[in-house]
Structure 1
Amino acid sequence: MPPRSFLPVLLLSLCLPLNLWAQQYLDVLHVTYGISPGTGYDQEFGTNATTTVHHTDLTLTLPLPISPKTTFITGLIGFGNRLQLDPQIPGTINLYSATLPFGLRFDYGNKWFGTHMLMPRRSTAFNNSRAGFQVATAHLFQRQKDQNTSFTLGFYLSQESYGAMLVPLFGLYYKDPSERLELQMLLPARGDINYSFSGNFRMGVVFDGLGSTHDLQTGDYGDAYVQRISNDLQGYAQVNLSKTLLLSLRSGYAFFRSFRVYDAEDKAGLSLAGFFFDDPRNALNTSVEGGFLFSFRLTYRVML
């Protein structure tokens, strides 16, 4: 699946005209911390060891209008994970990714919009870094049906440590006229369905198809990289602490999660939405499995 880091920028770009017309706000900053305690390892290898998986991310998104029909989109995105990669190798590894996205959103007329993004990033490990430079691009074409509904088609192409990844994307945004029910989809990467019970309280379900690769170098693995996969399904409650600050509490489960280490020369070729046509690689570690996760998110919202 696509790395999580690009999702907030694209989701914002999908909702720009809807926010401008209906909601009158933009979510500019997200800060998230999550934890998955007591995470076990692949039972195929017969170990009862566990680790705690920590996750943090920060997303700053800045849409800057440069003409009535063109918006420049940029920001700063970072996320990190901390865990023990193998039960037989003591110590934790701190993986991180830092992205500087930039691109343009165009109003083509007749309710058609286009978003074109370039996302260079460094994705490696603190204290165990190696190489880590990657670049991704995304191109989306959006048709706005009415003030509360839009559809999107596009693709995401990324250079990963194992090779290239191509992800076709389908987007849907819908908010009912009462502004209580809201759907934001960017499949197969992300989905969010939520309902407002009052002006300050909202509940929902969110899905994140997370994925990334991180170059690293250690005495145990040598020159290698970590391939991170997780499909997180969480329910959440969101409260407005003020007009500009929102707090979201989440809880759920990470399905099909893995942090597999591969030799730097072990490649897999093209991946289509996380699925490999030919994957001859052999992992160097016993990976963690899925597990329960808990997180909170702070959002800074700017009223227009």
Structure 2
Amino acid sequence: MVNKLLLFLFLISPLLSNSQEYVDLLNLSYSKTGDTSFENSSEGTTISIFDSKVTLPIVLNEKTALITGFDFNIKKLQLLPNSNFSELYYTRLKLGFSTQHSDRWTGTYVLLPILASDYKNIGSDDIYVGGIAVWTYKKRKNFNYKFGLYTGNEAFGFYITPLVGIYYISPNSGFEISALLPGLFDMNFGISSKTRLGIDYKGNSETFKIQNDKALTTYLENNCLEFSCYLQNNSLDKNLLLRLKTGYSTNSYDVYDVNDKIDLSITPFKFGNNRTKLNSELAYSSFLKVEAIYRFPIYSK
């Protein structure tokens, strides 16, 4: 049974960790920006984010495994100069499966129901449904290609995001690169047996319904790009990775009327986007992040 579990963690790893050598079962992080100014204003805000990701694979048979888990995060910031801090909550369930189509091709398919709002008077308007499909082609033991599609609905309307990526690790494991663009990129190298240096990029897009005077009148669209460098160490436990990150983030926390939508979004393009933003533009900002990852190693033959 243990060997089967290792095999199916290997199969589903393209979605769960962008790697062929491990799967991240738990990821916790907390970040905070420096003072972030509003456009045409002397006022600013800080942005703090707690993020958690849990993935629990369940083996069904020799070719198929269930994928279960959830993501949860909280963002805290001011949406307008001199306003109270708003708290935005994001919960996403993961339910799908991974299957081995052939010796070289693996497919991963996951349904992603989402509840995203300020969690005031939660209702059906706060719920979205998305899904992802990723196909991995194993070129060599230490190198593969990825292709996929992420699609669903958000507060602004329907969106489609094509995905493309690679994974490579050097024979001595000293250098590693993994990517699933446009959302994820990571490159790192070892400086000792327990310490690595890396750079990464994360693109994030999400929407939240916002209650105003107990009425649902607006929503927030967050499009954020994070560029960071990090120091990683696993001295406490070989499977527990602790990271200290510093970086630079774009901040696009845009508020719109709840009925102000677009025709279609195909990343990075938005069609029929004639919306009127109701809040001020936020400047870019630096941030500091601490991150803990429980990583389950996979030893493939």
Answer yes or no: same fold by TM over 0.5: yes
Distance 2:197 2:86 in 1: 34
Counterparts of 2:13 and 2:205, CA distance in 1: 16
Instruction: Indicate if the aligned counterparts of 2:18 and 2:180 stay in contact, CA closer than 8 A.
Output: no
Residue 202 of structure 1 corresponds to which residue in structure 2? 196
Q: Write the distance in 2 (CA, Å) between the matches of 1:92 and 1:197.
A: 41
Kept in 2, the 8 Å contact 1:31–1:299? The answer is yes
Residues 72-105 of structure 1 deviation map (CA, whole Å, 9 limit, x = unaligned):
11111111210000115x2011001101111111
State the Cα distance separating 1:110 from its structure 2 match. Answer: 2.8
Counterparts of 1:276-295 in structure 2, within 5 Å, are: 276-295=270-289
Q: Which runs of 5+ in 1 are unaligned?
A: 1-7, 20-24
Tell me if structure 2 keeps the 8 A contact 1:13–1:115: no
TM-score, scaled to structure 2: 0.90
Matched residues in 2 for 1:301 and 1:140: separation? Answer: 21
**1:165–1:274 Cα contact (<8 Å) kept:** no
Distance change in 2, residues 1:154/1:303 (3 Å): closer
Q: Identity over the aligned pairs, expressed in percent?
A: 30
Q: CA deviation at 1:220?
A: 9.9
Is 1:96 paired with 2:89? yes
Which amino acid in the other structure matches residue 120 of structure 1? P
Q: Deviations over 1:190-231 (max 9, x none)?
A: 100011112210110110011100011113995110000111
1:38-187 matched pairs, under 5 angstroms: 38-42=35-39, 46-88=40-82, 90-127=83-120, 131-187=125-181
Q: Distance in 2 between matches of 1:205 and 1:232?
A: 11
Deviation (angstroms), 1:129: 5.1
- Name which of 233, 236, 243 aligns with 1:248: 243
What corresponds to 2:16 in structure 1? 12
Structure 1 position 233 matched with structure 2 position 192: no
Alignment deviations for residues 261-290 of structure 1 (CA, whole Å, 9 cap, x no partner): 111111112111142122111011113221
Q: TM-score, normalised by structure 1?
A: 0.89
CA contact (8 A) 1:85 1:287 kept: no
CA distance in 1, matches of 2:13, 2:67: 8
1:132–1:215 CA contact under 8 A, matched in 2: yes
CA RMSD of aligned residues (A): 1.9
Q: Is contact 2:186-2:199 (8 Å) kept?
A: yes
- Equivalent in the alignment of 1:4: none
Gaps of 5+ in 2: 1-11
Counterpart AA for 2:97: L
Contact 1:128–1:216 (CA under 8 A) maintained in structure 2 = no
Alignment size in residue pairs: 285
| Separation in structure 2 between the aligned mates of residue 34 and residue 188 of structure 1, nearest angstrom | 22
